[in-house]
Amino acid sequence: MTALAEVSHPHTGSIDLPPLQKGGWGGFRASEHLLKTVDARLRVVACGIFALTVVGLTQIPSLLMALALAGCAAMAARLEFASTLRRMAALDGFILFVLFFLPFTVPGEGIFSLNGVTASYEGVLRAVEILLKANAVVLMIMALLGSMEPVELGHAMARLRLPVKFVHLFLFTVRYIEVLGREYRRLRTAMKARGFRLRCDPHTWRSIGYLFGMLLVRGIERAERIVTAMRCRGFQGHFHLMTEAEPVGRRDYAFVGLSVMAACALIILESLHW
Amino acid sequence: MVSEPLFRLSDLHFAYDSGQPVLTGADFTLHAGDRVALTGPNGAGKTTLLHLMVGLLKAQAGQVEAFGRLRIHEKDFVEVRPRAGLLFQDPDDQLFCPTVAEDVAFGPLNLGKSRTEARMIVRHTLARLGLEGFENRVTYKLSGGQRRLVALATVLAMNPEVLLLDEPTNALDAETRARLITILDSLPQAMIVISHDKDFLNRIARRWVRLEQGRLAEG
């Protein structure tokens, strides 16, 4: 090992430096709850299986069961109750608008009417079904994937041999969204410092337009600098991810078994006629 | 015996598309062991000069000789870049991989090193800079000073013969700045350092070059 290190580094000078204070957040090795110790790849796969199964369900009891399962997973992942609820509410607010129209557009047996338009029983059922599906899947995603670091998720996707472009797009986004966010906040603060307030007038619209235009220009310039820096380090279009897959352990197998059992239970419950 | 210079720039002319010439006949020679402070007013073209040296920009006239050969086309410079490590002004431009280990390994892997070798180089380089245990840190969560040192590690990991440092002490706290001086002072490579930090240059540089009105002057 020393020999190799010397071959690749003839200029090795040893410098006496104390190790740098690490401070803050050190890697993603935290393992304070059960789900976090499960292999990330398996969590991604389990999440996929769950989502595909739930999307196929149509019976209310099996959907309620799916939501309950997702709730159990969320508890196992120790998701914070309030913030989870807030995120789910954000999703529901998004789809409620669409769901509101369903009872009135799906034909079937009328149950009530609003302003002369009749809502159908089938439509209401359909809306409830979609609401349950969406919430069950999102809650499960938050429990299984939301509890890992984005970078860990990216690595898991790479190891699962998902399309390379997709993985890199994801990892670059993770890496630079914060840089762009910082740039946005800096510009926004600078605007505030010069007395800018959001109003509903052409001046506001124009200024916000400039702000986003400037962000776009800076984003492109930064992208160019990054590619330049990559070329300086010998980049010629080929990428190497240094991922080390940890071997799958007994706990991981137990997790897979549980996931498959849960999916089977959902399918059996669905096939019973209520 | 006078050794062959690492870089020889002769009569370089350069202007960006938008007009105003930046270099108007710049001459410069870098020998092994040289430690050059490159100074000059803002916008004088100091960064441009470094980018011309590694072929990231193309001069309109003049010659760039690097490591004993005339370099003209992109493919000539592909070989130059790993040997002349450029440290960018903003570490955020340089660090693009999710983790520190991957970022430091990026250069060596591009140079055809195996993963095992790359891992070894990573450990070794980080240890040299006092960054032990940083392998799995996420680059965007590092502090400004840590980012700068990791960016330097990514350059050193390719084991360059020349270091081109673009304002390395920019926005560093006193402690990290002192650490950087210790590190740079211990390195055997020839260097060109752009900086406005006089004290820093006094401690690193042995030769002073000033870029003004498109030309370089010693002293």
Q: Give yes or no: residues A83 and A218 share one domain.
A: no
Q: Give yes or no: residues A220 and A157 share one domain.
A: no
Helix B144-156, helix B115-128: angle, nearest 10: 130
10-residue averages of pLDDT along chain B (219 residues): 84 87 94 95 92 92 94 90 91 84 88 89 94 89 92 93 94 92 94 95 95 91
Instruction: For residue A138, give the nearest of A99, A91, A98 by alpha carbon.
Output: A91
Within-domain flag for A23: no
- Chain A CB contacts of B190 under 8 Å are none
Q: Give yes or no: residues A192 and A264 share one domain.
A: no
Q: Give residues 127 to 156 of B whose Cβ lies within 8 Å of A.
A: 128-141, 143, 146, 149, 154-155
Within-domain flag for A274: yes
Does the beta carbon of A3 lie under 8 angstroms from any beta carbon of chain B? no
Radius of gyration of chain A (CA): 26
The CA distances from residue A19 to A22, B131, B140, B144, B169, in Å, are 8, 6, 20, 17, 20
Within-domain flag for A58: yes
Q: Measured at the alpha carbon of residue B74, what is the angle toward residues B69 and B76, in degrees to the nearest 5?
A: 20
**For residue A11, what pLDDT is reported?**
43
- In this prediction, residues A75-84 reach a mean pLDDT of 85
Q: Are the beta carbons of B182 and A17 separated by less than 8 Å? A: yes
Within-domain flag for A6: no
Within-domain flag for A70: yes
User: What pTM does this model have?
Assistant: 0.70
How far apart are the C-alpha atoms of B138 and B147, rounded to whole Å?
A: 10
Within-domain flag for A3: no
How far apart are the C-alpha atoms of B126 and B107, rounded to whole Å?
A: 14
pLDDT band at A248 (very low <50, low <70, confident <90, very high): confident
Name the residue facing A8 among B85, B92, B121 (closest C-beta): B121
Q: Confirm if A156 and A41 have CB atoms less than 8 A apart.
A: yes
pLDDT band at A8 (very low <50, low <70, confident <90, very high): very low
Q: Give yes or no: residues A112 and A99 share one domain.
A: yes
Q: Which residue of B has its CA nearest to A21?
A: B131
pLDDT band at A26 (very low <50, low <70, confident <90, very high): very low
Q: Measured at the alpha carbon of residue A20, what is the angle toward residues A2 and A13, in degrees to the nearest 5?
A: 35
- In this prediction, residues A212-233 reach a mean pLDDT of 88
Q: Give yes or no: residues A99 and A70 share one domain.
A: yes
Q: Give yes or no: residues A222 and A195 share one domain.
A: yes
- Chain A CB contacts of B138 under 8 Å are 25, 27-28, 149, 151
**A232 Cβ partners below 8 Å, 6+ apart?**
B54, B56, B81, B85, B86
**For residue A133, what pLDDT is reported?**
93
Q: Give yes or no: residues A199 and A120 share one domain.
A: no
pLDDT band at A12 (very low <50, low <70, confident <90, very high): very low
**For residue A5, what pLDDT is reported?**
38
Instruction: For residue B108, give the nearest of B85, B140, B89, B75 by alpha carbon.
Output: B85
Counting residues of chain A whose pLDDT is more than 90, the rounded percentage is: 14
Mutate: best of B54, B116, B128, partner A, most A CBs <10 A: B128
**For residue A24, what pLDDT is reported?**
37
Within-domain flag for A19: no
For residue B187, the SS3 value is coil
Within-domain flag for A22: no
Count of domains forming chain A:
2
Q: Give yes or no: residues A105 and A203 share one domain.
A: no
Q: What does the pLDDT look like over A129-175, one tens digit per residue?
A: 999 999 999 999 998 898 888 888 888 888 888 888 888 888 888 88
In this structure, the number of other CB atoms found within 10 A of the CB of residue B12 comes to 26
Name the residue facing B102 among A4, A24, A242 (closest C-beta): A242
Token couple for A257: 């078994």
- Chain B CB contacts of A155 under 8 Å are 98
Q: Give yes or no: residues A148 and A175 share one domain.
A: no
Q: Give yes or no: residues A145 and A48 share one domain.
A: yes
Name the residue facing A232 among B81, B113, B130 (closest C-beta): B81
DSSP H/E element including A117: strand A117-120
DSSP states of A218-242 as a string?
HHHHHHHHHHHHHHHTT-SS-----
Which residue segment(s) compose the domain that A100 sits in? 31-161+249-274
Q: Give yes or no: residues A230 and A114 share one domain.
A: no
How far apart are the C-alpha atoms of A246 and A156, rounded to whole Å?
A: 11
Average pLDDT over chain A, rounded to an integer:
81
Name the residue facing A233 among B102, B154, B189 (closest C-beta): B154
Identify each DSSP E strand in chain B by its residue range. Answer: 7-15, 21-30, 35-39, 61-66, 69-71, 84-87, 162-166, 190-194, 207-212, 215-218
As for the ipTM of the complex, it is: 0.73
Token couple for A238: 């080929």
Q: Give yes or no: residues A102 and A174 share one domain.
A: no
Does the beta carbon of A180 lie under 8 angstroms from any beta carbon of chain B? no
**B3 Cβ partners below 8 Å, 6+ apart?**
B31, B32
A187 pLDDT exceeds 90? no
Q: Confirm if B145 and B172 have CB atoms less than 8 A apart.
A: yes
Secondary structure of B84-147 in HEC code, one letter for each residue: EEEECCCHHHHCCCCEHHHHHHHHHHHCCCCHHHHHHHHHHHHHHCCCCCCCCCEHHHCCHHHH
